[in-house]
């Protein structure tokens, strides 16, 4: 049991709005802890821990500049998120397209006589 994927940490890190805001800020360029903390009302230790979470998830790396620890976004980690998400989404859409082909093919073949009524039920929101 107990699967553990690096994606666990990445998705979890991005689930927090403060951390996403930090990531967005870092997309504009490197920043120190104080700079990153400025827009928020929470305490510095809280920010420091958010940064540790981001670092542990591989989303940022940290440098050293005297007593400052500037943070830098790691685009790599973001790309991994996109890859999993898009891979999954495309699998679904391809399957959906195949289903569409099948249904269209069926409809073209014969105008339907007997519906055995197996599988495929209402989901309210249907793609055309």
Partner DNA sequence: GTCGTATTTAACATTCAGGTTAAATACAGC
Partner DNA sequence: GCTGTATTTAACCTGAATGTTAAATACGAC
Which residues contribute to the site for DNA (CB under 7 A)? 12, 15-16, 18, 32-35, 41-53, 62, 64, 66-70
Sign of CA dihedral 101, 102, 103, 109: positive
Distance in Å, CB of 57 to a second copy, minimum? 10
- Which long-range contacts (C-beta less than 8 Å, at least 24 apart) are formed by 21-26? 22/47, 22/50, 22/51, 22/54, 22/71, 23/54, 23/59, 23/60, 23/73, 23/78, 26/60, 26/71, 26/72, 26/73
116 contributes a contact to a second copy by CB under 8 A:
no
44 contributes a contact to a second copy by CB under 8 A:
no
Stretch that binds a second copy, among 26-34, 47-55, 102-110 (CB under 8 A): 26-34
Q: Measure Cα distances from 68 to 61, 63, 85, 117, 128 in Å.
A: 13, 8, 35, 67, 55
Q: Which of 64, 109, 112, 128 binds a second copy (CB under 8 A)?
A: 64
Stretch that binds a second copy, among 43-51, 91-99, 106-114 (CB under 8 A): 91-99
Q: Which of 18, 33, 53, 55 binds a second copy (CB under 8 A)?
A: 18
Q: Quick one: what does residue 58 bind among a second copy, DNA, none, with the CB cut-off 5 to 8 Å set by partner type?
A: none
Query: CB-wise, 17 or 111, nearer to DNA?
Result: 17
SS3 71: strand
11 contributes a contact to a second copy by CB under 8 A:
yes
């Amino acid at each position: 049991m107990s699967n553990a994927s690096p994606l666990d940490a990445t998705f979890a890190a991005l689930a927090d709005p403060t951390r996403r805001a930090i990531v967005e800020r870092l997309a504009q360029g490197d920043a120190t802890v104080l700079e990153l903390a400025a827009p928020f009302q929470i305490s510095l230790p809280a920010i420091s821990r958010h940064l540790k979470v981001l670092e542990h998830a591989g989303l940022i790396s940290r440098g050293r500049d005297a007593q400052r620890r500037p943070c830098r976004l790691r685009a790599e980690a973001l790309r991994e998120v996109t890859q999993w998400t898009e891979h999954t989404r495309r699998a679904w859409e391809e399957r959906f397209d195949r289903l569409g082909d099948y249904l269209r093919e069926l409809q073209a073949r014969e105008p339907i006589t007997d519906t055995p009524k197996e599988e495929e039920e209402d989901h309210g929101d249907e793609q055309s």
